[in-house]
């Protein structure tokens, strides 16, 4: 009889299988291990008290805050750099949060040079003795500008200016020229008085007033709004402008002016005026400065250039001391 002997096989797997198993076991550990970035040592024990210090001996330049400060900065920083270069003066831009703050800071002497609408100017001239020394030419070549009365395109209740009676009116600021005063004069000329409106409101908060008026009308918070001409274009990439209808344009009035506070050293004023008037917006050198500041040139000006504003204020019953 044949006897069959079964060899007992070893209980451990072959070498290659053991190696594979070991690799599988080590894989997670290898995967888990990685090179971390090396930190930089910072000593937190060396502490100092820090705080903001107002720069001393600088000429302050302010732009009446009708737009966001960012916009104001973008528009006027190149011009300030130009003035610094031309005059050698330490000029810096300051940013009042509102028309009232602007007037208050002017009164406090915190703003040496300001770029303001003529309505503000007549107010600060009346109150603080500020002096106008230059005026700008608008981008379209005009020496003045006008206001714009807007409503929503789909608002069937407002077809004519007369329809604005009994409606809610939002304006830029009580000290705004194109955004309030000019429109008020326009309504006045068309027999509409302040008391004919259901409500007259001014936008609040720092900066961006022109844009806020447009948005308030766009969103239906108010029935009509008043802005300076050209303000709508600031929101061209943010809202559908076809939903905004221009109800009327106001008459033309003097454009923005450069104002020096009372008591500003004459040599400083002279140097700044010269540098401003030296701007040739057609030249390659200054074109970017003028484009950024949204004007086409600067002309010398005197107080009488704003008399039309004083008359308009008197006509509509605005007290320049308020």
Partner 1 sequence: MISRISFRAKISLAMIAMILLLGISLALIIARTASRALLDECKKRGVSTAVHIAEQVTEPLLSMDLLRMKDVVDDPRRGDQDIAYAFIIGRDGKPIVHTFIGGFPMDLLRVNGVGDDEPCRVRLITTGSELIYDFAAPIMIGRERVGVVRLGVSQKGIGGAVERLVWSIFIATGVAVVIAAILGAMLARTMTQRIRLLQRSAEEIANGSLDVMTLPMTQTHCRDLLHCDMKDCMSYEDGGHGCWYTVGDLRPFDAGQGGGGDKLTACRACPVYQENRGDEIQNLAECFDIMAMTLKKRMEDLHTLQERMVQSQKLESLGQLAAGVAHELNTPLGIILGYTQLMLQDFSPDSEYHEWLQIQEKHLRICKKIVADLLRFSRSTGTDKRALDLNELLEQVASVVEHTFGLEKIALERRFAPEAPLIVGDREKLQQVFLNLLTNAYDAIGSDGTVTLSTWRDPDKGEALVSVADTGPGIPPQALPRIFDPFFTTKPVGKGTGLGLSVTFGIVEDHGGRIDVESRVRPDGAEAASPDGARGEFGVVFTLHFPIYQPPKAEGPAEARLTP
* Smallest separation (angstroms) from partner 1 to the CB of 76: 11
Stretch that binds partner 1, among 20-28, 115-123, 235-243, 261-269 (CB under 8 A): 20-28
291 binds partner 1 (CB under 8 A): no
Smaller CB separation from partner 1, 43 or 319: 43
* Smallest separation (angstroms) from partner 1 to the CB of 54: 8
Smaller CB separation from partner 1, 97 or 267: 97
41 binds partner 1 (CB under 8 A): yes
* Smallest separation (angstroms) from partner 1 to the CB of 42: 5
Smaller CB separation from partner 1, 84 or 167: 84
Question: What are the phi and psi torsion angles at 6 (to 5°)?
Answer: -90, 120
CA 174 from centre of chain: 18
100 binds partner 1 (CB under 8 A): no
DSSP helix/strand/coil, 203: coil
CA 244 from centre of chain: 21
* Binding flags for partner 1, 67-86, as an x/- string (CB under 8 A): -xxx-xxx--x---------
DSSP helix/strand/coil, 191: coil
Smaller CB separation from partner 1, 27 or 314: 27
Question: What are the phi and psi torsion angles at 268 (to 5°)?
Answer: -65, -45
What is the H or E stretch that residue 286 is in?
Answer: helix 284-293
141 binds partner 1 (CB under 8 A): no
56 binds partner 1 (CB under 8 A): no
303 binds partner 1 (CB under 8 A): no
CB of 133 within 8 A of CB of 271?
A: no
Which residues contact residue 261 at a Cβ distance below 8 angstroms, ignoring those fewer than 6 apart? Answer: 106, 109, 111, 112, 113, 114, 128, 130
Rg of the Cα atoms in the chain? 33
97 binds partner 1 (CB under 8 A): yes
Distance set, CA 276 to CA 39, 117, 119, 272 (Å) = 51, 17, 21, 6
Question: What are the phi and psi torsion angles at 135 (to 5°)?
Answer: -140, 160
**In terms of residues, how long is the chain?**
322
Interacting residue with partner 1 among 95, 128, 188, 249 (CB under 8 A): 95
50 binds partner 1 (CB under 8 A): yes
39 binds partner 1 (CB under 8 A): yes
252 binds partner 1 (CB under 8 A): no
């Amino acid at each position: 009889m044949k006897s069959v002997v079964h060899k007992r096989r070893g209980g451990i797997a072959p070498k290659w299988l053991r190696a594979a198993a070991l690799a599988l076991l080590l894989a997670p550990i290898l995967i888990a291990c990685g090179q971390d970035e090396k930190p930089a040592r910072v000593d937190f024990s060396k502490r100092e008290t820090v705080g903001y210090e107002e720069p001393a001996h600088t000429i302050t330049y302010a732009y009446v805050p009708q737009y966001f400060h960012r916009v104001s900065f973008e528009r006027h920083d190149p011009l300030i750099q130009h003035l610094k270069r031309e005059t050698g003066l330490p000029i810096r831009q300051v940013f009042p949060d509102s028309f009232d703050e602007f007037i208050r800071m002017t009164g406090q002497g915190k703003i040496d040079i300001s770029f303001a609408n003529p309505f503000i100017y007549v107010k600060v001239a009346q109150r603080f003795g500020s002096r106008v020394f230059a005026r700008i030419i608008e981008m379209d070549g005009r020496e003045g500008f006008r206001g714009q009365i807007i409503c929503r395109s789909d608002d069937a209740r407002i077809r004519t200016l007369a329809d604005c009676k009994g409606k809610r009116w939002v304006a830029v600021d009580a000290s705004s020229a194109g955004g309030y005063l000019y429109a008020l004069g326009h309504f006045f000329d068309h027999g509409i008085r302040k008391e004919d409106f259901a409500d007259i409101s001014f936008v609040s908060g720092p900066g961006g007033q022109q844009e806020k008026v447009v948005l308030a009308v766009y969103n239906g918070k108010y029935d009509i709004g008043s802005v300076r001409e050209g303000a709508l274009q600031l929101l061209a990439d943010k809202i559908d402008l076809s939903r905004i209808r221009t109800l009327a344009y106001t008459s033309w009035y003097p454009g923005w002016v450069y104002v020096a506070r009372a008591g500003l050293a004459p040599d400083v004023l002279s140097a700044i005026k010269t540098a401003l008037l030296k701007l040739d917006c057609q030249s390659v050198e200054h074109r970017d400065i003028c484009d950024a500041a949204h004007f086409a040139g600067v002309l010398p000006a005197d107080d009488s250039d704003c008399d039309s504003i004083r008359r308009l204020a008197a006509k509509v019953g605005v007290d320049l001391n308020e």
